[in-house]
Amino acid sequence: MSFTPLSSKQTSELTGQLIAQGTIVDPKSAKGRLLKAAARLFRDNGFERTTVRELAKEVGIQSGSLFHHYASKQEILRNVVEQTILLNTELMQLSISQNQTSQDKLQALILCELQSILIDTGNEMSVLVYEWRGLNEHNQAQILALRDKYEQLWLDILNQAYQEGLITLQPNILRRLLTGAISWSVNWYNPKGDLSLEELAQMTLSLALKGKNN
């Protein structure tokens, strides 16, 4: 049995379910397009340097109208981040569940995270990393709780791999090294370049696995 990635059909079906449940907003709705635009602007220019006027212009409304959708600029930032974590947690859970061995599960985690950063929700993930301090304390705490759940998925797999002797570094430290290595890719990886996402995932996996199959 070998590694099974998520198909794009699975991804879109799960996304559809989450929209139907109301967990995340429909990206085609006004609120959804607003969040997408916000993520791009926040990523490109930073949260502070992005004005609500720019954001409003981007979605074709007046700045005052923004506040009918979200109570404040801060609330927009929170939603960008929150929805992204929720979505990616669900996607990752699904991807893990359809792989059996620890190594395949680990590969699933790495590929999922790279995909979220480099393809699907790259702007949003950048915002999460670089605009964290734009969130007020209350929102930071709230997001942290969601993030803990996401991280637990990683730690569970890494612990298992550690016990199996698949990895030798302590799981919590390895996770932190991987977090950095993966999230930094947003600053250099070119989706249209020679290196495929799967190759990058493979390379990243090879860092983690000591003297093993690759």
Partner DNA sequence: AATGAATGAGCTTTCATTCAT
Partner DNA sequence: TATGAATGAAAGCTCATTCAT
Locus of tokens 């495929």:
196
Q: Over the Cα atoms of the chain, what is R_g?
A: 18
Q: Which tokens go with 41?
A: 């602007």
Query: Is residue 206 near a second copy by the rule CB under 8 A?
Result: yes
Closest to DNA by CB, 29 vs 196, is: 29
The dihedral built from the CA positions of residue 47, 50, 53 and 54, taken in this order, carries a sign that is negative
Query: Is residue 51 near DNA by the rule CB under 7 A?
Result: yes
Query: Is residue 210 near a second copy by the rule CB under 8 A?
Result: yes
Query: Is residue 204 near a second copy by the rule CB under 8 A?
Result: yes
Pick from 1, 2, 8, 133: which binds a second copy (CB under 8 A)? 133
Planar angle of CA 150, 156, 162, nearest 5 degrees: 135
- Which residues contact residue 51 at a Cβ distance below 8 angstroms, ignoring those fewer than 6 apart? none
**Cβ at position 87, least distance to DNA in Å:** 22
**Cβ at position 2, least distance to DNA in Å:** 47
Total of chain residues touching a second copy, rule CB under 8 A: 32
Kindly identify the residues of this chain, within the stretch 134-193, that bind a second copy according to CB under 8 A: 134, 168-169, 173, 176-185, 188
Q: Which tokens go with 196?
A: 């495929």
What DSSP assignment string belongs to 18-46? HHHHTSS--TTSHHHHHHHHHHHHHHHH-
By rule CB under 7 A, what string of x and - marks binding of each residue 69-108 to DNA? x-xxxx----------------------------------
Pick from 6, 67, 160, 186: which binds DNA (CB under 7 A)? 67
- Which residues contact residue 23 at a Cβ distance below 8 angstroms, ignoring those fewer than 6 apart? 86, 90
Binding piece for a second copy, criterion CB under 8 A, among 5-13, 94-102, 147-155, 195-203: 195-203
Query: Is residue 19 near DNA by the rule CB under 7 A?
Result: no
| Cα–Cα distance, 4 to 10 (Å, whole number) | 12
Query: Is residue 208 near a second copy by the rule CB under 8 A?
Result: yes
Q: Which residues of the chain form contacts with DNA (CB under 7 A)?
A: 30, 49-53, 61-69, 71-74
Q: Which residues contact a second copy (rule: CB under 8 A)?
A: 44-46, 48-49, 130, 133-134, 168-169, 173, 176-185, 188, 195, 200, 203-204, 206-208, 210-212
